[in-house]
Structure 1
Amino acid sequence: MQRILAADTAGGHAFHKAHEFASYGLAGATPVAIVASKGGIMQKAADFVFSFAIPIHSHICMNACVTDYLPYAARGPARVGVLGMSVITYLGIMKVNLSGPGLTETVRGLWRKPAKN
């Protein structure tokens, strides 16, 4: 559990590789999500790449921020909070992907004009 809580420093090689692969996943899935057709298999694949890559990438990066900017005594509780937010982020993205329109369509909806009644 300590390795997960301190993913930036105590995680070792495995967490560095996970961060690297999450970065590659985000870099690859973003253009796919932009050009994919609505509801298509490519869009769904990008959504599921996002569901894993976003929480992993942000968890490790936020732990680096905790290490860099918080005093030693505050790091433990902050790391628990980061882990909680990472789990909530994963669950939220999966809920949107499995029972909603998907993460890509949700984000695209921010730029769509509302339908006229």
Structure 2
Amino acid sequence: MSTMQRVLAADTAGKAGLKVHEYASYALAGATPVAVVSSKGSVLQKTADFVFSLAIPVHSHICMNAVVTDYFPKVARGPARLGVLGMSVVTYLGIMKVNLSGPGLTETVRGLWRKPEKAAAAAK
């Protein structure tokens, strides 16, 4: 099985694929509390953001391939797996864009619970 075949069929690629999924799960479980308690712009927050940038696409790529295996007919699995790979790459690139040219993934998510500055200023 070639490397590309292993990536496309990540859920059935053997023990290595399962280990990668396991490590991505550990990375997400470890980075989440670090992101929650870290201060804005800190090294811990930036580290968590970059862990997320790899772990989220890898974890979701393998899980979505399992969905393809379970629910798609064999004839449609190839195109569906290519679509999953494309979305995994787009997810990685999107998170990296937020991390490198924006506030970072952690601050972006935290912003969902903040009042907009104009509304907070008008309320005073």
Q: TM-score, normalised by structure 1?
A: 0.97
Aligned to 2:16: 14
> Aligned partners of 1:14, 1:104: CA distance in 2, in Å?
29
Matches within 5 A, 1:47-86: 47-86=49-88
Equivalenced residue count is: 116
- The residue type equivalent to 1:52 in the other structure is L
Aligned to 1:99: 101
Identity of aligned residues (%): 79
Between Structure 1 and Structure 2, the one with more helix by share is 2
> Aligned partners of 2:70, 2:42: CA distance in 1, in Å?
42
Structure 1 unaligned runs (5+)? none
Structure 2 unaligned runs (5+)? none
Runs (4+) of structure 1 exceeding 3 A deviation are none
Q: TM-score, normalised by structure 2?
A: 0.91
> Aligned partners of 1:48, 1:12: CA distance in 2, in Å?
27
- Structural RMSD (CA): 0.8
What is the deviation of 1:101?
A: 0.4
Aligned to 1:27: 29
Flag the structure with larger Rg.
Answer: 2
What is the deviation of 1:14?
A: 1.5
> Aligned partners of 1:80, 1:38: CA distance in 2, in Å?
37
